[in-house]
Amino acid sequence: MRFTSEQRLDDGVLEREFTLGEIPGILWTPGSASTSGSTSGSASTSAPARLILLGHPGGLREMYPRLAARARYRAAEGFAAATIELPGSGDRPRSAAAEQARADLRRALETGEPVEEIVDRLVLPLVERAVPEWRATLDALLSLPGIGGPVGYAGGVIAIGIRLAVLEPRIAAAVMFAGTFVPRAVFEEARQVAIPLQVLLQWDDEGNNRQQALDLFDAFGSKEKTLHANLGGHAGVPRFEEDDANRFFARHLK
Amino acid sequence: MRFTSEQRLDDGVLEREFTLGEIPGILWTPGSASTSGSTSGSASTSAPARLILLGHPGGLREMYPRLAARARYRAAEGFAAATIELPGSGDRPRSAAAEQARADLRRALETGEPVEEIVDRLVLPLVERAVPEWRATLDALLSLPGIGGPVGYAGGVIAIGIRLAVLEPRIAAAVMFAGTFVPRAVFEEARQVAIPLQVLLQWDDEGNNRQQALDLFDAFGSKEKTLHANLGGHAGVPRFEEDDANRFFARHLK
């Protein structure tokens, strides 16, 4: 992991861009966190900042304002937050198969044809590639001074969040956005999820399938799972949900 | 309004039983609230405690432990809370028509017959009788020293909460339990509700109709409405929802 830039934001949050191999990412740490890694004898008195992974649908540059805002919310509660670019998105090499699936999906949505098979082609290989990258990122981030687990996952792509929640024992709680285009296989995987969950559903999301989101919430195997449905479209998650997410993570990560 | 008993609970909350005409009720005020009604010259410096009406399905004696627990949660956030017995419940005179409807409903549920007409007979007259009583109680409570509006409504019966939310301008926000046996007419009325809402749904409530609850949430006319669905049965609302309700009311009543 190599840091490529560093800036202190006005609320004291330290924002650092990094690369892990060919994967670009961003790490935000709260102003209060010790990031010096001092080994000069006296042990640091402050506990490491718990880490929250910020999921997103790809395109770090376009997503930056929303991701940074979410990271700063988490930092206000003392959490570190990090995100990486998805394979095939942003400046990363395109996958011909994924580009084909994306084009097929657009066409199928226009003509009203069934999309299930296309969604499988688009999402399942993305999960296969993205999850090991997230886990490698987790290894690197947790080896930094001042950052510790247990770790939270927040955001989309929900299929990636689900796979991580099932495979990665360091992830102890997740806030997931009930998204669109969820392969049937992911519903089966959701039954294996056992960590506490908060699932966000935008009730009037034009691009979303409300019934599918409710079915997915139903499928999760977690003993503690809460659905928060709010009025409004895709980008209209109300401000108070950020506070709720902080409290949810504080309950389960601290 | 006549106070019939008074006790100070261990967390400092003042619990007072009262009667308003023939209606019994309970008022809880936080330890911090001024209830002396001092007019001795110096104005009280503390703001009046905002009042939250605690709805319930009737039977004050059986419901007391849960209502008192909810009231003490509210009091911890500085809210006053009050409840009254429903017409035809507890020690109040029975309604022959309501008793008949209740018996018919039990029988219909056993035999699997349709219940819509019975639910109308049971719930609609209850709403007609209960809502004016709640409003009279509100008049009396808001004339007490140390208690003020805007007012919140929390709990069931959801048909009563909906009518109150539509008719009563002093009620500014409500946390409603998505209940069972909601007459179709109430769905129409829900469209007229305009105050901020938090709707609680127990995902596995044996006695509940999940789809009906989701439809009712969809019907509400409020611009700010949030559904909180949690795993578990009827009485299993998680503790953290009490905190969420306090924050919701703090946002909208203070």
Contact yes or no for A231 and B244 at CB 8 A: no
Taking CB atoms and an 8 Å cutoff, what residues of chain A touch B222? 231
Taking CB atoms and an 8 Å cutoff, what residues of chain A touch B224? 231, 238
Residue A108 reports pLDDT greater than 70: yes
Any residues with CB less than 8 A from the CB of A218 and at least 6 apart, and which? B203
Which pLDDT tens digit goes with each residue over B16-33? Answer: 999 999 999 999 999 876
Smallest Cα distance from B190 to chain A, Å: 15
Contact yes or no for A229 and B230 at CB 8 A: no
The mean of the pLDDT values for chain A is 92
Given CA atoms B18, B20, B26, B32 in this order, what sign does their dihedral have?
Answer: negative
Cα angle, residue A142 at apex, residues A137 and A144 outer, rounded to 5°: 105
Contact yes or no for A228 and B231 at CB 8 A: no
Q: Say which residue, B184 or A36, is predicted with more confidence.
A: B184
Q: Which of B222, B228, B238 sits opposite A228 (nearest CB)?
A: B228
Question: Does residue A101 form part of some domain?
Answer: no
Residue A32 pLDDT level (bands cut at 50, 70, 90): confident
Taking CB atoms and an 8 Å cutoff, what residues of chain B touch A223? 231
Q: What is the rounded average pLDDT of the residues A100-127?
A: 95
Smallest Cα distance from B72 to chain A, Å: 21
- CB B101, CB B121: distance < 8 Å: yes
Contact yes or no for B231 and A225 at CB 8 A: yes
Question: Does residue B112 form part of some domain?
Answer: no
- What integer pLDDT is reported at residue B39 of this predicted model? 43
- What integer pLDDT is reported at residue A206 of this predicted model? 73
Q: Where are the beta strands (DSSP E) in B9-143?
A: 14-20, 23-29, 49-55, 80-84
Taking CB atoms and an 8 Å cutoff, what residues of chain A touch B244? 244
Contact yes or no for B240 and A217 at CB 8 A: no
Residue A226's SS3 state is strand
Smallest Cα distance from A204 to chain B, Å: 10
Residue A178's SS3 state is coil
Contact yes or no for A238 and B226 at CB 8 A: yes
Contact yes or no for A228 and B230 at CB 8 A: no
Closest residue in A to B236 (Cα–Cα)? A224
Which pLDDT tens digit goes with each residue over A60-102? Answer: 999 999 999 999 999 999 999 999 999 999 999 999 999 999 9
Angle in degrees, 0-180, between the axes of helices B96-111 and B116-142, rounded to the nearest 10: 140
Residue-wise burial string across A195-206, b where 16 or more C-beta atoms lie within 10 A, e elsewhere: bbbbbbbbbebe
Question: Does residue A161 form part of some domain?
Answer: yes
Any residues with CB less than 8 A from the CB of B174 and at least 6 apart, and which? B152, B153, B154, B161, B164, B165, B195, B196, B197, B198
Q: Which of A218, A225, A229 sits opposite B226 (nearest CB)?
A: A229
Smallest Cα distance from B136 to chain A, Å: 33
Any residues with CB less than 8 A from the CB of A64 and at least 6 apart, and which? A26
Q: Where are the beta strands (DSSP E) in A194-238?
A: 197-202, 225-230
Closest residue in B to A230 (Cα–Cα)? B226
Give percent helix, percent strand, percent coil of chain A, each to the nearest 5: 40, 25, 35
Q: Which of A214, A228, A251 sits opposite B214 (nearest CB)?
A: A214
Contact yes or no for B243 and A247 at CB 8 A: yes
Give the A:B interface size as CB pairs under 8 Å.
Answer: 47
Distances (CA, A) of A101 to A95, A109, A157: 10, 12, 16
Q: Which residues of chain B have pLDDT under 50?
A: 37-44
Mutate to test the interface with A, among B195, B228, B241, B248 (most CBs of A within 10 A): B228
Question: Does residue A120 form part of some domain?
Answer: no
CA dihedral B32, B33, B39, B41 (to 10 degrees): 40
Contact yes or no for B227 and A229 at CB 8 A: yes
Taking CB atoms and an 8 Å cutoff, what residues of chain B touch A227? 203, 227-230
Structural tokens at position B226: 């949030």
Residue A38 pLDDT level (bands cut at 50, 70, 90): very low
Which pLDDT tens digit goes with each residue over A171-209? Answer: 999 999 987 789 999 999 999 999 999 999 999 877 778
- What integer pLDDT is reported at residue A164 of this predicted model? 98
Q: Is A251 exposed, middle or buried (0-12, 13-18, 19+ CB in 10 A)?
A: middle
> What is the rounded distance in angstroms from the CA atom of residue B237 to the CA atom of residue A226?
11
DSSP state of B180: S
> What is the rounded distance in angstroms from the CA atom of residue A249 to the CA atom of residue A241?
12
Q: Which of A214, A225, A231 sits opposite B223 (nearest CB)?
A: A231
- CB A158, CB A177: distance < 8 Å: yes
Question: Does residue A107 form part of some domain?
Answer: no
Residues 125 through 144 of chain A touching chain B, CB cutoff 8 Å? none
- What integer pLDDT is reported at residue B33 of this predicted model? 66
Question: Does residue A249 form part of some domain?
Answer: yes
The total of structural domains in chain B comes to 1
Residues 191 through 230 of chain B touching chain A, CB cutoff 8 Å? 203, 214, 217-218, 222-230
Give percent of chain A with pLDDT exceeding 70.
94
Structural domain boundaries enclosing A212: 2-91+130-253
Distances (CA, A) of A100 to A104, A110, A128, A230, B99: 6, 16, 17, 34, 65
Which pLDDT tens digit goes with each residue over B174-206? Answer: 999 987 789 999 999 999 999 999 999 999 877
Smallest Cα distance from B224 to chain A, Å: 6
DSSP state of A15: E
Taking CB atoms and an 8 Å cutoff, what residues of chain B touch A230? 225-227
Q: Does A243 touch chain B (CB under 8 A)?
A: yes
Question: Does residue B107 form part of some domain?
Answer: no
Residue-wise burial string across A51-82, b where 16 or more C-beta atoms lie within 10 A, e elsewhere: bbbbbbbbebeebeeebbebbbbbbbbbbbbb
CATH of the domain at B42: 3.40.50.1820
> What is the rounded distance in angstroms from the CA atom of residue A14 to the CA atom of residue A176?
25
